Amino acid sequence: MTAFYAKEPLNIELSGTRAEFEALAVRVAEGGAASMPLVPPKQTSPYDSFAQHLVIRPSDAKVAVRLVADADVLELAGSPAALALLAENLDSFGRQAASGGHFHLEFFDGHFYLAESSAPLVCVLADRDESAA
Question: Which residue ranges form the domains of the chain, and what is each CATH number?
Answer: 2-132 (3.30.1360)
Average pLDDT of the chain? Answer: 92
DSSP 47-73: SSEEESEEEEEE-SSSBEEEEEGGGTE
The whole-number pLDDT of residue 128 equals 62
Instruction: State the pLDDT at residue 69.
Output: 77
User: Is the pLDDT reported for residue 50 higher than 70?
Assistant: yes
> What is the C-alpha radius of gyration for the chain, rounded to an integer number of angstroms?
14
| 115-125 pLDDT, tens digit each | 999 999 999 99
